[in-house]
Structure 1
């Protein structure tokens, strides 16, 4: 697991918690922020996956 994957996963978890808190409290803004943070985490996680794939390919060469 590289740094991007770790940080992306952490953002997803934080976003999920924030989204849940927003739903429980009826705070639409907090819920939306959580969803946005979760999406950003998924993107960062995907970047980390791509980096790992490139690294594996280079290691094979």
Structure 2
């Protein structure tokens, strides 16, 4: 069954391809942020706690 045929049965709209690609990019960036060392975080002006908080956000929680 095609995605278009399933769409009316879904209680929500399927995200567009660009939105999915953005979510993947944000997820990858947050994973990279979590792997940074303390010196790199200091260069960015972030604490370890701030980086862990940002990295722990769900991938669908996109920045505005």
Larger radius of gyration: 2
TM-score by structure 1 length?
A: 0.49
Greater helix fraction, Structure 1 or Structure 2: 1
